[in-house]
Amino acid sequence: MKVTGAQALMKCLKEQNVEVIFGFPGGAVIDIYDEIMRTEDLTHVLVRHEQAAVHAADAYARVKGDVGVALVTSGPGATNTVTGIASAYLDSIPIVVFTGQVPTALIGNDAFQEVDIVGITRPCTKHNYLVKDPKDLIPTIREAFHIARTGRPGPVLIDLPKDVVAAMVEYNEPQPVKMRTYRPTYEPHPGQIEKACKAILKAKKPVFYIGGGVILSNANEELTELSRKLSIPVTMTLMGLGGFPGTDPLSMGMLGMHGTYYANMAVAHSDLLIAVGARFDDRVTGRIDAFAPGAKIIHIDIDPTSISKNVTVDIPIVADCKHAVAAMNSWFNRSKDFDRGAVAEMHAPWLEMIKEWKDKHPLGYAEEKDVIKPQFVVQKLHELTQGNALITTEVGQNQMWAAQFYHFNKPRSFMTSGGLGVMGYGFPAAIGAQMAAPDRTVIDIAGDGSIQMNIQELATARQYHCPVKIAILNNNYLGMVRQWQELFYDKRYSNTTLDTAPDFVLLAQAYGAVGLRATKPSEVEPVIKEALATDNVVIMDFVISREEGVYPMVPAGKATTEMLLV
Amino acid sequence: MKHTISVLLQNKPGVLSRVTGLFSGRGYNIESLAVNRTLDPEVSCLTLVSDGDDGIIEQITKQLHKLIDVIKVTDMAETDFVEREMALIRVKAEAGTRAEVLRIIDIFRGKVVDVSPRTYAIEVTGDEDKIQAIIDILKPIGIQEIVRTGTIAMARAKKN
């Protein structure tokens, strides 16, 4: 069947079960937009800035557990997606980004709105394509979705010259994608699984250190089973939050720079560290030679490059986390050497030691009577949503307080720009999350600085009836940088004071949204309740204690045991 | 330590820049590089020489392998192999030195590929040490121009 390139694109989206795309039109993609208008069962969300389209697609992918899609025009439309693509790349989020391109005959001519987006995004995509021949269009799209969602997921970009989408192409029914060069390893090596399980049986002070890979591979149930079976405590990276129930007695919360005292102490004193879908990022390890110095390390990851990149691993397992953890569960279920009661008894002193650390320095903050503490706001959000909201964050203190105090019990409920640390991620991500889960409560925990980076999306949220809630922890500062300046730069607050700020309540109203403000602790709960009961976009402006810091904190380059505490 | 790494990759536009971009982006070193088609016109063979400790070389081979267009990566250090590069050298060859230059070329099994009244251009192949040796010998006589290829390498066939 002959169809136009644009029609072929619509058909391919349907093949991939794409129901929602986020985008912004322009000259090079008019043909595609013309076709979108005629395509039923595809919702196009018109964002107000292309960066937001990619963040929204990113969060949509995380909530759905499938591929998110963005569509933008050539030139500036394409360059505006770079931050979103780089963020998805570092967080291994499956998205496909379609960019328009000038007609093939003009490529390389410095034509109007021409940019080499394939060249620009080469280092921050899992793979990318420029489709020069219309007959390659359909196979390329199918391959792109395959690459994005398999193996270690990631963003894939397809650059579409205007004449290619206007050309007639032959549409064939989809075949399974076969690639000569790309075959991710899903199944673990049984020998390595056995080695790992035997090491676990010997360990007296084991710790699970889990990351985003657990969530991406939906390994949370298998991991919870394994942890409980073996009485092994679990700590999570920022990306791993929700991969293990945050309120479980075995949970130690987050580790690393702003991790809990007890998680960092446990890792430092462990004799076996079992890393699952995590990548030993510098924000997790601190000074690398002081990270888990006495531990043997087991590392499960689908990406071989993650293994032994930052620390030398004793037992590497290249596999999908879900498959590998399931294989470990069944090894223990079969093993004659494994006695659940005996192992629990062996680990009891270790769990007791961790409990002592926890009692000594629990996660907390100094309460004040008249000033709103940001941690209190997050705790209240948790309480009033029963921990069931989808939470997105911006980047900085707001992100860390959200990570510390909203105890995520389920995967795919925390969307944050972990690797790249994008201010401006949270609000468009909230829109993406709401489009993926229209019935859920979605809250963007934001700062007054970062919310302004994509504040224009208020219009998008309104237009598509996404009743997302924005909780601004407003301290009139770029708080995280200010905290560093306070601690390490003798309080020289260079350019971190936001002297001129909008009135966020009026700003919300200007977009037809609802604005609420709390200036006293007693107003926090009523404001949240009112926001949750409002079927509209709501900005909650919480005026918080200005110079509140995020603690514990491991100063950059220090060992994770050298924490600054509250 | 220097490693010669052989990479089979899809012969497509932009593939070379994926490889070189990987090296520059991650701060790895490329000492030399050679690429050309294989018998299969859809596949290119790229040979590169890099320098780094075992951890870095391991990361390089893994990262190369992670590129979607890469078919196979071989670190030649893991096998017995032959490697060659080629140099074209234009050297002064005046009345007093012409005969000596020819003798040197002969010793190194080089070939004269261009002649002028005062110069010879010669072609010489060998491993890096051999090329360096002829350069060192010819330098005092007067090298005017030099062009060298990257190293290419092939694993030796199994003897049994």
Q: What is the pLDDT of residues A342-399, one digit of tens each?
A: 999 999 999 999 999 999 999 999 999 999 999 999 999 999 999 999 999 999 999 9
pTM, to two decimals: 0.96
Count of all residues that appear for chain B in the document? 160
Interface test with B, best of A126, A181, A182 (most B CBs within 10 A): A181
Flag whether pLDDT at B158 surpasses 90: no
How far are the Cα atoms of A276, A278, A303, A333, A490 from residue A322, in angstroms, in the given order?
10, 13, 14, 16, 47
Beta strand B70-75 pairing with B2-10: antiparallel
A contact set with B (CB within 8 A): 118-119, 122-123, 126-127, 130, 147, 179-182, 303-305, 308-309, 312
The amino acid occupying position A550 is V
Q: Which residues of A touch B22 (CB under 8 A)?
A: 123
Interface test with A, best of B11, B18, B68, B73 (most A CBs within 10 A): B68
Q: Which residues of A touch B63 (CB under 8 A)?
A: 305
The pLDDT, as a whole number, for residue A76 is 98
Q: Which residues of B touch A309 (CB under 8 A)?
A: 59
Instruction: Show the tokens assigned to A359.
Output: 């009692």
CB-based contact (8 Å) between B10 and chain A?
yes
CB-based contact (8 Å) between B59 and chain A?
yes
8 Å CB contact of A181 and B71: yes
CB-based contact (8 Å) between B71 and chain A?
yes
Option in A122, A180, A309 nearest B17 (CB): A122
Instruction: Show the tokens assigned to B38.
Output: 């294989």
Among the listed residues A186, A191, A237, the one whose alpha carbon sits nearest the alpha carbon of residue A211: A237
Reduced to 3 states (helix: H, G, I; strand: E, B; else coil), residue A556 is coil
The pLDDT, as a whole number, for residue B5 is 97
Q: Which residues of B touch A305 (CB under 8 A)?
A: 59, 62-63, 66
The pLDDT, as a whole number, for residue A92 is 98
CB-based contacts of B56-61 (< 8 A; 24+ apart in sequence): B56/B28, B57/B1, B57/B3, B57/B5, B58/A308, B59/A305, B59/A309, B59/B26, B59/B28, B60/B3, B60/B5, B60/B23, B60/B28, B61/B5
Q: For domain B84-155, is the CATH number 3.30.70.1150? A: yes
Q: What is the DSSP string of A191-218?
A: HHHHHHHHHHHH-SSEEEEE-HHHHHTT
Low-confidence ranges of chain A (pLDDT < 50): none
Q: What angle, 0 to 180 degrees and rounded to 10, lies between the N-to-C axes of helices A321-334 and A220-230?
A: 30
By C-alpha distance, the chain B residue nearest A182 is B68
The pLDDT, as a whole number, for residue A566 is 82
Q: What are phi and psi of A288, to 5 degrees?
A: -65, -35
The pLDDT, as a whole number, for residue A385 is 98
* Residues of chain B numbered 21-40 and touching chain A (CB < 8 Å): 21-22, 25
Burial class (CB in 10 A: 0-12, 13-18, 19+), B92: middle
Option in B21, B55, B62 nearest A123 (CB): B21
- pLDDT, tens digit, 9 for 90 and up, residues A430-483: 999 999 999 999 999 999 999 999 999 999 999 999 999 999 999 999 999 999
8 Å CB contact of B59 and A119: no
Q: Which residues of A are catalytic?
A: 50, 112-113, 162, 480
Among the listed residues A268, A288, A270, the one whose alpha carbon sits nearest the alpha carbon of residue A279: A288
Chain A nearest C-alpha distance from B57 (Å): 11
The pLDDT, as a whole number, for residue B159 is 81
Q: Which residues of B touch A130 (CB under 8 A)?
A: 13-14
Residue B141 carries which DSSP code?
T
Flag whether pLDDT at B160 surpasses 80: no
CB-based contact (8 Å) between B149 and chain A?
no
Reduced to 3 states (helix: H, G, I; strand: E, B; else coil), residue A232 is coil
Sign of CA dihedral B99, B102, B104, B107: negative
Option in A122, A181, A182 nearest B21 (CB): A122
Chain A nearest C-alpha distance from B20 (Å): 11
8 Å CB contact of B66 and A304: yes
Q: Which residues of A touch B55 (CB under 8 A)?
A: 308, 312
CB-based contact (8 Å) between B20 and chain A?
no
Q: Which residues contact B87 (CB under 8 A, 6 or more apart)?
A: B123, B124, B125, B131, B134, B135, B146, B147, B148, B149
How many whole angstroms separate alpha carbon A383 and alpha carbon A532? 12
8 Å CB contact of A123 and B71: no
How many whole angstroms separate alpha carbon A120 and alpha carbon A141? 20
A-B CB pairs within 8 A amount to: 37
Task: Evaluate whether B2-78 and B84-155 have a shared fold.
Answer: yes
Option in B21, B25, B69 nearest A181 (CB): B69
Number of alpha carbons in the 13 Å side-chain half-sphere of residue B5:
30
- pLDDT, tens digit, 9 for 90 and up, residues B82-138: 999 999 999 999 999 999 999 999 999 999 999 999 999 999 999 999 999 999 999
The amino acid occupying position A396 is G
Rg of chain B's alpha carbons, rounded to an integer? Answer: 19
- pLDDT, tens digit, 9 for 90 and up, residues B16-44: 999 999 999 999 999 999 999 999 999 99
Spell out the domain ranges in chain B. Answer: 2-78, 84-155
The pLDDT, as a whole number, for residue A211 is 98
Reduced to 3 states (helix: H, G, I; strand: E, B; else coil), residue A164 is helix
CATH number of B2-78: 2.60.40.10, 3.40.640.10, 3.10.20.600, 3.30.70.260?
A: 3.30.70.260
The pLDDT, as a whole number, for residue A340 is 96
